[in-house]
Structure 1
Amino acid sequence: MIDPAVLHDTRAAYDAVAPTYAELFSNVLETRPMERALLAAFAELVRVHGAGPVADLGCGPGHVTAHLNALGLDTFGVDLSAEMVALARRAHPHLQFDEGSMAALDLPGGALGGILAFYSIIHTPPVQLPAVFTEFERVLAPGGHLLLGFFAGDDPRPQEFDHKVTLAYRWSPDSLLDLVRQAGFTEVGRMLREPYEHERQFRHCQLLVRKPGNP
């Protein structure tokens, strides 16, 4: 379980910047071809296994939820921030968006064919992140896929940084993978890229893992 104080602070921080955030990032995938390629691979794998809908956890204004839906997935979004959820509902009225915490999802076990956590785990204190991955494993069907996006570092220990919205953490891909494996997942692949000129000077990582078993 995530500390309620952390949830409160993260929710308040994103509520405060929601309109600006949506304006800055709603079209961000148009300039990120590598992320689009991995999202397309994720969507294809989920469709092939046919294990259920996909949850975009920490969906923000819903732009990536909508992108996955356009790729043929049955998607819905969940976010802590009521303001983000309201923006997502207005921008994408044909999709479902709900307030909620990714650490305690209102879903039965094995309900999902896929989970996307696109830079939404970065605010979770490292000591509390294993519980989040355990929750992901619970709600994913056997054979389901999880795609994690995060800022990468070289230190095996998570590193705090000022995200400008609220406190966040960078992870080395191997260290984060160790936590994910402990929750029962196996690696499918990863993408690690250098920052573009207009981005903060951190590398970006997308880690794709799978819950073993057949759907």
Structure 2
Amino acid sequence: MDRNEVRRAWDDVAATYAARRDPDGSDAALIDDLLADLPDDPAVLDVGCGDGARTLANLPSASVGIDVSREGLELARETVPTARLVHGEMSALPVGDERFDAVTAYHAVFHVARERHPAVYAEFARVLRPGGRLLMTLPGGRFETVRRGWMGGRMFFSAPGRERTLTQLREAGFGEVETTTATDPLGSSTEFVLATRLE
């Protein structure tokens, strides 16, 4: 699926995904751990924010949500009416350099073709201030597939594997890489990575 097909796929399933998600999975608690490492009143960019309930609603008021799906952003506007929401694609983030103290990307990057993941991580590093933090889902396997029937629609998933992802993050300028496992919104155990943009 190309970018426009992924955007349309998310427009089709955004409401179903928001309705089926468990609001109490332990991955939500990782936000608190992230915020504890940040300065007071940090600016956070939530990439792939969707309806905003999982991450954006738990982030400070100066945070920005970005999503490729306009339907997802409409849902976020209802969930977090005070948030700044931006329509855009993560391999070309429509925000300036060194604007944010942290980037979150929950269950998002693996909807981009894996050959474009290095560009995504370079964008994350670009928009972070030196010392800024990244918290994102770490895909465990190597895959590229379209799952038909997913949330009543179809969805593209792509990843180069766990170790290759960690290598790509380091090549993009991230260090102090830590991983942890938490329960994701659909009740599965998922690994996350927390990393720091080096000076």
TM-score, normalised to structure 1, is 0.81
Spell out, residue by residue over 1:72-111, the C-alpha distance to the aligned partner (whole angstroms, 9 max, x if none): x631200000111011101211112121111112222111
Q: How far apart, in 1, do the equivalents of 2:86 and 2:114 lie? A: 25
Give the drift of 1:187: 3.1
1:14 corresponds to which letter in structure 2? W
1:207 aligns with 2:193: yes
1:127 aligns with 2:118: no
CA distance 1:86–1:23, change in 2 (3 Å): same
Structure 2: unaligned runs, 5 residues or longer: none
1:43 aligns with 2:29: no
Aligned with 1:122: secondary structure? helix
Q: How far apart, in 2, do the equivalents of 1:134 and 1:53 lie? A: 19
Spell out, residue by residue over 1:141-183, the C-alpha distance to the aligned partner (whole angstroms, 9 max, x if none): 0010011114423xxxx22345524120355432211000000
CA distance 1:104–1:29, change in 2 (3 Å): same
2:59 corresponds to which letter in structure 1? L
1:65 corresponds to which letter in structure 2? L
Spell out, residue by residue over 1:12-43, the C-alpha distance to the aligned partner (whole angstroms, 9 max, x if none): 00101122122112xx341x22x233221111
CA distance 1:87–1:172, change in 2 (3 Å): same
Structure 1: unaligned runs, 5 residues or longer: none
The question of whether the paired residues in 2 share the 8 Å contact of 1:150 and 1:170 is answered with no
Q: How far apart, in 2, do the equivalents of 1:89 and 1:108 lie? A: 22
1:95 aligns with 2:79: no
Residue in 1 that maps onto 2:48: 58
Which structure has more strand as a fraction of its residues? 2
Aligned with 1:46: secondary structure? coil
Residue in 2 that maps onto 1:186: 175
CA distance 1:90–1:135, change in 2 (3 Å): same
Q: How far apart, in 2, do the equivalents of 1:87 and 1:61 lie? A: 5
Which of these residues, 69, 74, 87, is aligned with residue 81 of structure 1? 69
Which of these residues, 14, 21, 28, is aligned with residue 18 of structure 1? 14
Q: How many corresponding residue pairs?
A: 193
1:38 corresponds to which letter in structure 2? L
1:160 aligns with 2:144: yes
CA distance 1:84–1:193, change in 2 (3 Å): closer
Between stretches 177-186 and 14-23, larger displacement belongs to: 14-23
1:54 corresponds to which letter in structure 2? V
Give the alignment's Cα RMSD to 1 decimal: 2.3
TM-score, normalised to structure 2, is 0.87
Give the drift of 1:140: 0.6
